[in-house]
Amino acid sequence: MTGQLIIAVDGPAAAGKGTLARRLAAELGLPYLDTGLLYRAVGRLVLDAGGDPSDPVAAEEAARALVPADLARADLRGPEADRAASQVAALPGVRAALLKFQRGVALARGAVLDGRDIGTVIFPQAHVKLFVTASVEERARRRWREVQSGGLAADLAAVTEELRRRDALDLARAAAPLRPAADAVTIDTTALDADAAYAVALETVRRRLGAP
C-alpha cells in the first residue's frame, strides 16, 4: 500500500491496545482512532432514538448517520454501552457503513487504528499490523485494577466472566470475527508492563517500516 501510513493494532478487549496505539500515534505523528468508539456511538444513537441495538435497520441507519463528534460523547463506556456496542458490532450492515467511515478518516492523514478487524478487513494492506493480546486472567486483573482506581467497587471473578463473554462474542461473530491477520506480529503482553509492551511494539513498527 502506498500513500498514507496505516498501522493496525488489533486484539481482544482489555489487552492494552488503546494505550499502546495512542503512544505509537504520538511517536509517529499520526492521528489515533479507537474504532471501538464507533460501535459504542452507534449503539448509543440507537438507544437515544428508543430503538433496539440488535435491530439491523435501526442500527444501520445510525451507523450511516455517524459523525466524528459522536465519538466524543461522555457516555460511551459502562455496561449499557458495552452491550449495545457488541450487539451492533455483530450486524454486517453496520460493519459495512463503519468500514467506509474508518477508511475515510484514516486515509486523510494516515492513522494508527485499534480494534478487532483493522488488519483483516478495514486495512488488509496496512503497512504494519500488530495483534496485541494477553491471558484472560491478566486482562481481567488489569481491568479490575482500573475500575478500582476509579474509586468503584469491582469483583475480579465478575470482571473475568464478563471478559470471557466478550471474547466469545468477538471470536464467534460471523461478521469480521476477531483473529490475527496472517501477516500480523503478535505481542503477548501477559508478562509485560505498558512500557515494555510499547517498546516491543515500537521496535516492531520500526523494523517493519525499515527504519534504522
Binding site for ligand DC (CB under 6 A): 13, 35-36, 39-40, 85-86, 89, 115-117, 170
Between 174 and 211, whose beta carbon lies closer to ligand DC? 174
> 37: which 3 cell numbers?
468508539
The CB-nearest residue to ligand DC is 36
How far is the CA of 205 from the CAs of 132, 134, 184, 211, in angstroms? 13, 19, 11, 9
In the complex, least distance from residue 175 CB atom to ligand DC, rounded to whole angstroms: 8
Q: Which of 60, 63, 94, 65 is nearest to 173 (CA)?
A: 94
Between 60 and 170, whose beta carbon lies closer to ligand DC? 170
In the complex, least distance from residue 28 CB atom to ligand DC, rounded to whole angstroms: 20
Between 86 and 133, whose beta carbon lies closer to ligand DC? 86
DSSP alpha helices (H): ranges in the chain? 17-28, 36-48, 56-65, 79-89, 92-109, 136-149, 156-172, 194-208
Between 61 and 170, whose beta carbon lies closer to ligand DC? 170
Angle CA(184)–CA(187)–CA(188) in degrees, nearest 5? 135
In the complex, least distance from residue 77 CB atom to ligand DC, rounded to whole angstroms: 8
Between 16 and 36, whose beta carbon lies closer to ligand DC? 36
In the complex, least distance from residue 154 CB atom to ligand DC, rounded to whole angstroms: 16
- Alpha-carbon span 195 to 54, nearest angstrom: 38
Residue where the block lists cell 435497520: 57
Between 52 and 203, whose beta carbon lies closer to ligand DC? 52
- Alpha-carbon span 67 to 60, nearest angstrom: 14
In the complex, least distance from residue 211 CB atom to ligand DC, rounded to whole angstroms: 27
Stated as kind and residue range, the H or E segment containing 7 is strand 6-10
In the complex, least distance from residue 89 CB atom to ligand DC, rounded to whole angstroms: 4
Q: How far is CA 7 from the centre of its chain?
A: 13
